Chain A
Amino acid sequence: MLIIILIITVIIFILMGISFALVSNNATISGTNVAEAVVSPVQKFFSSIGSSVGGFFEFVGDMRGYKEENLQLKDEVEKQAQQIRELESYKQENQRLRSLLELKDNNADKDMVGCEIIAKDPGNWFDVFTIDKGKNYNIKKDDVVVTNNGLVGRITEVGSNWAKVVAIIDTDSSVGAQVTRTQDIAIVDGDMSLADSGRCKLSSVTNGTSLVVGDEVETSGLGGIYPKGILIGTVSEIKSDATGYTQYAIIDTAVDFERIREVLVIRMADEEPEE
């Protein structure tokens, strides 16, 4: 019995020696290869299960952290969205002010002052608004109000640091006008039913006038209030009155009265403002 055990031990030692020699020479032992080939898919399967289970418990463990992180990220996104909105608002304001500045530069011969609209008419009938500058900036009654797009209206009342402007779409407004293409003279009047859509009426146009849709209408300079050449709007419709003798046109004003925020007041006097 001892002899058999001894023999087996010797054989195993010999085999160990052979396998050690083979491994040292990077050779593959066929038995190991077979064993690895059979076991490795199973190992891989259980290993993946193991990592999944481990991952799950790790996820559960980190759940609170994820929640907090999610809230922080949401907060961050909200802040950035708010910043984008603010920047967009500044961008639009910048564009508006830039265009007003451009207009001022292009009319260096005119004495202009930039104003902000601070209040509008409290009722539904009139298109009157209040601006934030008045006598303190030498603004006077009948000064003309414009934007980079065109004519807004005129000053009707002035206080120490405010002034009231009647828009050209108001029923109380009447502007001496001329059609740019034909140089025909007419009058632009405010009309109650047109004012809501930012339009007004070009009246006193004789039938001989060849108005076409798209014609630009500007101030004629007649009447003593509005200087010549300020764009009022473009003709959008041409109609005849009940008598059929005179025609009138509907004008889309160049200024968007719904979105107007800043205006320029053309000061007719030569005096310096008290700033």
Chain B
Amino acid sequence: MVLEVRKPRPLWEILFSTHHTDIGLLYIIFSLTLFFMGGVLAIGIRTELFLPGVQLIEDSNTFHRIFTVHGTTMLFLWVIPFGSGIGNYLIPIMVRYKDMAWPKLNAVAFWMIPVGAALVWLGWADTSWTAYPPYSILRAPGPAAEMWIFGLKILGISSILGAINFVVTILRMKHPDLPLMKMPLLSWSILSTSLIILMSMPTFAAALIMLYTDRLGVSGFFNPAMGGDPIAYQHLFWFTFHPEVYVFLIPAVGMIYEIIPKFSRKPIFSYTSGVTAFILLTIVSFASWAHHMFATGMSFTEKTVFMIGTLAAVPASAMHIFNWIATMWGGRIRFRAPIAFVVGGIILFFLAGAGGIVNSAMPLDFLTHDSYWVVGHMHLFLMGLITHAFIGFIYYLLPMITGRMYNEKAAMVQFWLLFIGTSLIFITQHLLGLYGMPRRVADYVPVEPLIIMNQISTVGAYIVLASMGIFLVNLIRSAGWGKPAKMEDPFEIGEKYYDYRRREPHH
């Protein structure tokens, strides 16, 4: 399946390969598979909520198990592995080295992910992806919850190994003739992401161990009956997972920086501001974790500090958006599928960001906390910007991976369906939250506004389902039967395309 130079190799050779393109391919195929599986669960959730009462899922326990696996899958088995996959494909090419710094470590990091995924998917815990104690230690039934804890543990170690490999590849294996400030911005984004993972992940790794020993009853870190503090877990959790939000976001930003200048046929408006914004986001990502916990009874000072810390991320994100718009401005934009997805993503990112400012304002957070507003906000961000950018980038990378072109018309139809569907689902969910619908419920009060808004949201989900159907068919058809791509410039935009045989600078 991978682009091969001399002759096709048997598939098992790709499976057990340590070469970065092979591992990148495995990452991408794995994450796409899990993306579709997690999507099926999302459709189940939306179908259940189409009407109040019981539709599809008979007991709320099963509902909890479904949204837990959906959340865990989409975050840890779709967004993160996909980012690593693209990094694996492109980073060695961009820093002009023959492979990743440690190819075997790279393979290990990938193969831990299916193990973690198997634990999560065979257990079906009901803790929700946050696994807050005391429920997760005192009530959540095993072995599902134990499997979830170990699955996440393995996924965390895998991210750390991958991140170490990226940092070393970028900083130490970079071609000596290539200065850091001439690297493509995608390399900068992967570097920032990896640094965030290295700094944040160990905290959650520790929290998971504490959670597990608490479940066993040998410790009581988070167990109020043994003098522990459940809020401490939330601090440890969000110390990892607020920065992790930027781990989800920054690779997508890097991909957008690859697509926009090429399709606008104009150099990036300001390379330096892009790098600055990446570094700022890396730092600021650690200054806002407790904005997830405004409702836990923190002091006014703490809340104010974290509110300001959260708002500090706004200028950095705005620098990126400004940079993209300024790059497109006056460019001769060729609207092929990749840039269409990216532009749609930027629009939805703007909306998600505006909603985020409302959340982060501490007094307003009390209104939106644990309501569907939050669900809408974080999905608009994950589906809107990140998934849009990722899908655009898959189309952009398809000629490199398969040597074939995708079907442009189908991709554009998919884009419009995805854009409209995403807006319908998640903008409506903001309103649902303001109307008082709590999150994580299988049923709701049968009043007209709630029913109508839930139905709009579910119809949006079906539109996204249709777009994903088109996506899957387009991927399979194009990978197997698509028109052979002109590898110099498959999109006919007069820009150089990636060539993975070309590693020397000044070529």
A is bound by B: no
Q: Which residues of B contact A (CB under 8 A)?
A: none
